[in-house]
Amino acid sequence: MRYLIGIGTYMGLDDSIGLRIAEEVAARGLDRGFRAIELPGNLLDLLHYFGPDTADMLVVDSARMGLAPGEYRFFSPDDVVTRKSLEGISTHEGDLMKVFELARELSVTVPPVTLMGIEPATIVPEMGLSRALEERFGEYLAAAAGFFGAERAR
Amino acid sequence: MLQNVDIDIHHLTRVEGHGNIVVNVTDGTIETCEWQVPENPRFFEAMVRGRHYSEVARITSRICGICAVGHTLASVTATETALGIEVTPQTRKLRTILKHAENFDSHVLHVYVLVAPDLFGAQSVFPLIPTHGEVVVRALRLKRLGHEWGSLIGGRTTHPVTVVPGGFTSLPSAADLAALRERLLGAVPDLEATVETILSVADKLPAFDRPTEYMAVHEDGQYGLFTGSVETILANGDRARYDIEDYLSITNEFMLPQSTAKHTRNRLRSYAAGALARFNVNYDQLHPEAKKVAEALGLAPICTNPYMNSVAQVVECVHAVYESIRLIDELLEDGLKDEGLVQPTRFGSGISAVEVPRGILYHDYSYDENGLCTRANCIIPTNQNHGNIQADFEDLVPQLLESGASEEDMALKLSMLVRAYDPCISCSTHYLDVTFVR
């Protein structure tokens, strides 16, 4: 199985971008050959999609990467180090990198994972998206769904 | 006894959202002792106004990523009441199994990931991997069961898609339900091991009793989840029963200067909702296997120690598994039927009360003749517990001072107390913050 996993929170303005992409990909029936899943709230649920039956995974999330707001990039978890400093892992104030760390420490089979990071313009406790991300939403959808098409063609 | 204490825990960790603990003692006098909630209101009630009844649950489900099933069920149930829809017994059974899945999933997360580190003297689950790896692996195994159990019935656990006003848009197959039954049975050894784990650290749960009022949804025939009435019980066993429609006069919302969240009260200055409240109110309706586990864990009604809420959650996990097995057996015996959606017979107002992991969730809607929402109100359980946490603080802090506890120990006990309530204050952020290294 192949997965597109959107993470974030609907209440964080641009932090909702991953959820909105996963939701819209499924709603438009773009999820051909893969499953689109929203994972708000609890990042630990990502572990349920790890394992030998998972061929690969695209995780879509807002990411502060030092790019211009709205810009996006595909990268591997191994390409980056986190700047977040959390005591551990919690259910809400999470860090995706901690989930990968937990999986490795527990010897869980981690499938090939690609991250699609989208630079947020604003992360505040509001519903919706900033204009910078809203204007490029269609582009993100095509890129996220296209990832699987491109991967299939390889 | 400490004469001067300065505890300022800004954004307590291992709870859902943001809350602060502030305690100041000067020359032996307690000057400040507060549980503060600085979260912003989110105005979901305004977002659903003007929306068609078929859309409302999809919106309110997004209030919470942990209790999405509960918000969906509360929304759909209130809408069905408003629209004069009477769902079938099959729908009620499937929804009950789904509700059990959510409570199980959330309780496992809370007990193992948020509470257990305190009991094992760790900051998080990470330090437990080398020392208690099997416990962490077991936690993830149970968590996965809860997630997939909910996904089977709800289409997905987070923001379920199959639950709509009038019934289900799609049903699990009989084979899927039979497979789930086997998985639930297969989880029993893990639940037994959970009991052993809790017993091994039970002495770390503080001995603190403060009688209060306990509130839960109640049904005479089964452990109350989302139909019936609301019942409260005091420590002396005195019970009071209320119609769900009277929820405003049960909750009596009010504001305090220290918090942006609303507080509630009923017969006393505060009340408790959640697993321990349900256990105290609905003990007679617990599955016999859950009662056995409660006895093994030293939990008996009426328990007035708020730290035991996590233990009550373990008891509810056992109840959820055995009750779901019983309901699956009934469904398989009757045969699953494609019943279609029950259609509205009127448009008016409706109220629901659903037991989500942290307590009673109320939804209340009105619809016009076109099926558009004209008014909404939601009261979440965490807000119902804030006043009780504050009242606990006011009893506990003098006791800790009197016992000669250190400031560090006081901070730990207060943090553990808040965590015991499993508060879900609001959704925080999840964004990545990274530097490229290659």
pLDDT category at B427 given cuts 50, 70, 90 is very low
Domain A2-153 has CATH 3.40.50.1450: yes
pLDDT at A52 over 50: yes
For residue A83, what pLDDT is reported? Answer: 75
pLDDT at B438 over 70: no
Is pTM beyond 0.95? Reply is no
Query: Distance between CA A128 and CA B223 in Å, rounded?
Result: 39
| CATH code of residue B118 | 1.10.645.10
Query: Distance between CA A113 and CA A98 in Å, rounded?
Result: 14
Residue B419 lies in a domain: no
Query: Distance between CA A49 and CA B157 in Å, rounded?
Result: 13
User: Lowest mean pLDDT: which of A33-42, B16-25, B135-144, B324-333?
Assistant: B16-25
For residue B425, what pLDDT is reported? Answer: 58
- DSSP string of B229-272? EEEEE-TT--EEEE-GGGHHHHH--B--TT-SS-B--SSSS-EE
Please tell me if residue B437 touches chain A, with a CB cutoff of 8 Å: yes
pLDDT tens-digit profile of B280-296?
Answer: 999 999 999 999 999 99
- Which residues numbered 20-79 in B keep a CB inside 8 Å of some CB on A? 39-40, 42, 47, 62, 64-66, 68
Instruction: Give residue B118's identity as a one-letter amino acid code.
Output: D
For residues A125-150, average pLDDT: 92
pLDDT tens-digit profile of B208-234?
Answer: 999 999 999 999 999 999 999 999 999
pLDDT at B343 over 60: yes
pLDDT at A21 over 90: yes
Residue B16 has its nearest CB partner, among A87, A91, A97, at: A91
Residue A117 has its nearest CB partner, among B64, B148, B432, at: B432
Residue B10 lies in a domain: no
ipTM for the complex? 0.79
For residue A86, what pLDDT is reported? Answer: 58
Residue B222 lies in a domain: yes
Please tell me if residue B133 touches chain A, with a CB cutoff of 8 Å: yes
pLDDT at B429 over 50: no
Q: What distance in Å separates residue B220's CA from the closest CA in chain A?
A: 34
pLDDT category at A45 given cuts 50, 70, 90 is confident
Please tell me if residue B109 touches chain A, with a CB cutoff of 8 Å: yes
Residue B30 lies in a domain: no
For residues B19-32, average pLDDT: 88
Domains of chain A: which residue ranges? Answer: 2-153
Please tell me if residue B267 touches chain A, with a CB cutoff of 8 Å: no
pLDDT at B8 over 90: no
For residues B350-362, average pLDDT: 95
For residue B102, what pLDDT is reported? Answer: 94
Inter-chain touch A82–B66, beta carbons under 8 Å = no
Strand locations in B27-123 (E): 29-36
Residue B276 lies in a domain: yes
pLDDT category at A153 given cuts 50, 70, 90 is very low
In chain B, residues with a C-beta closer than 8 Å to the C-beta of A95 are: 432
In chain A, residues with a C-beta closer than 8 Å to the C-beta of B156 are: 37-38
Disruptive mutation site among A43, A44, A61, A126 for chain B (greatest number of B CBs within 10 Å): A44
Residue B37 lies in a domain: no
Based on the structure, what is the number of domains in chain B?
1
Please tell me if residue A154 touches chain B, with a CB cutoff of 8 Å: no
pLDDT at B196 over 80: yes
Query: Distance between CA B362 and CA B354 in Å, rounded?
Result: 7
β-strands A2-8, A56-64 pairing: parallel
Residue B63, domain extent? 44-388
Mean pLDDT of chain B: 91
Residue B420 lies in a domain: no
In chain B, residues with a C-beta closer than 8 Å to the C-beta of A123 are: 429, 431
pLDDT category at B178 given cuts 50, 70, 90 is very high
